[in-house]
Amino acid sequence: MDIFSQVFRRTKHVLPHVARFCLVSTFFEDGVRMYTQWSEQRDYMDMTWGCGYFLASLFVLLNLLGQLSGVFMVLFRLKVNYACFMLFGIVILQTVAYSILWDVTFLFRNLALLGALLLVLAESRSEGRSLFAGVPSMGDNKPKTYLQLTGRVLIIFMFATLLRLEFSVLQMLVNVIGSLLMVLVMIGFKTKLSALVLVAWLSVLNLYFNAWWNIPAYKPARDFVKYDFFQVLSVIGGLLMIVNLGPGGVSMDEHKKNW
Convert the pLDDT of each residue in 38-71 to its tens digit: 999 999 999 999 999 999 999 999 999 999 999 9
Q: Is residue 236 part of a domain?
A: yes
**pLDDT tens per residue, range 96-115:** 998 887 888 888 989 999 99
Higher-scoring residue by pLDDT: 6, 76: 76
* Model confidence pLDDT, tens digit, residues 210-258: 999 999 988 989 998 998 899 989 999 999 999 988 888 888 888 776 6
| 211: in domain | yes
pLDDT attached to residue 55: 95
| Residue 180 maps to a domain | yes
| 175 falls within a domain | yes
Residue 1 forms part of a structural domain = no
Count of structural domains, the chain: 1
Residue 92 lies in a domain: yes
If residue 206 lies in a helix (H) or strand (E), which one and from where to where?
helix 191-209
Residue 136, domain member (yes or no): no
Give residue 178's domain range.
15-126+143-256
* CB 109, CB 161: distance < 8 Å: yes
Half-sphere exposure of 32 (CA within 13 A, CB side): 10
Residue 146 to residue 248: CA distance in whole angstroms: 8
